[in-house]
Amino acid sequence: MAFLDNLFGKKKKEFRAACNITKEPLEKGFGYLLTTAQIVTSKKYWDMIMTEPETLSYTVSHFKNQSSGTQMRTMIFEKYATVGKPWIISDSIISYFEVDKSAAKENAKKWWAAEGQFTPEQTGPAATSLDEKTFQSWRDYAVLEAGREKVKI
């Protein structure tokens, strides 16, 4: 009977993941697991996000002192800063973050073993993991300064 169950039974779908930032597929056991606080405390990350093709027009508007651009940049910051789950990211983007890479890799292994259910300490929205002054400082950078060097006004 067990043979027939194996033969005709439903197979469990294999757990897969893609980088939360680049969307590239990750092989099982690979990548790094970061918290939202670790993500939003990166200048390189914000410079990249605020100059992507989808957001560049808001950045240009912001630096031309148009309030609509600043409002959109604020919404973009809130979108990312309020993520409650940990971020699984690829080797190609880890250099954007100043984190303990070996700890992030170990957490990723635990995350894979738990099929995405593992959450490291300090997981949750950045405002709950960072002190108010630090959070506000990163919010100000992301909204007011990110991408300035990449935009010619």
The residues, ordered by sequence, that sit 6+ positions from 43 with a Cβ below 8 Å of its Cβ are: 141, 146
Give the separation between CA 107 and CA 30, rounded to whole angstroms.
Answer: 10
Q: What is the pLDDT of residues 88-119, one digit of tens each?
A: 999 999 999 999 999 999 999 999 999 999 99
Q: What is the pLDDT of residues 38-51, one digit of tens each?
A: 999 999 999 999 99
**pLDDT number for residue 14:** 85
**pLDDT number for residue 3:** 55
Full-model pTM: 0.88
The mean pLDDT of 50-74, rounded to a whole number, is 95
With cut-offs at 50, 70 and 90, classify the pLDDT of residue 62: very high
**pLDDT number for residue 13:** 81
Q: Could you identify the residue written with the tokens 């957490």?
A: 107
With cut-offs at 50, 70 and 90, classify the pLDDT of residue 68: very high
Quick check: 26 pLDDT over 80?
A: yes
Q: What is the 3-state secondary structure (H, E, C) of the chain?
A: CHHHHHHHCCCCCCCCEECCCCCCEECCCCCEEECHHHHHCCHHHHHHHCCCCCCHHHHHHHHCCCHHHHHHHHHHHHHHHCCCCCEEECCCCHHHCCCCHHHHHHHHHHHHHCCCCCCCCCCCCHHHHCCHHHHHHHHHHHHHHCCHHHCCC
Q: What is the pLDDT of residues 124-142, one digit of tens each?
A: 999 999 999 999 999 999 9
